[in-house]
Structure 1
């Protein structure tokens, strides 16, 4: 039978890729999506397909615009706050968990 210390150590180890996501539950994560969309929010739930439920989300969408007169490309970022957001895993490019301490 595992004592409490062994059990606690087992729940904080990373053996599979999705363990990093599991350890990020209730933490702030950064998610880069297709179409120049970036999200930062609190991870509430996820599944093996990287479908995720985020709360208190800050979304940043970056678009490239061309100025027809001077032929210069400009980048424009739009930000908005979303209280709760479901992310479809097919659009996920990158997930950055919060920094691990210890």
Structure 2
């Protein structure tokens, strides 16, 4: 599966909006417009890059529990460079990673 930078960004934005429950993974996790398989793959990429922490929910699915410092910084940079992304395309977001 190919890495989808917009999917990664939407996942981490969704995580930042979640209520913090320690290391307890949520019962479910969805991002509008993306399949469960694609979300799960990109969650692993975010975990590999140390952008998020994960836990295993009751159904055995590994889901995000919170963003890391690096994940928060990524969001801050992407939100502050939205104008550049629109003007210059997705390469700007990839450069931030």
Q: What's the TM-score bracket when you normalise by the shorter of the two chains?
A: under 0.3
Task: Give me the TM-score of the superposition, normalised by structure 1.
Answer: 0.21
Higher-Rg member (1/2) = 1
* Larger helix percent: 2
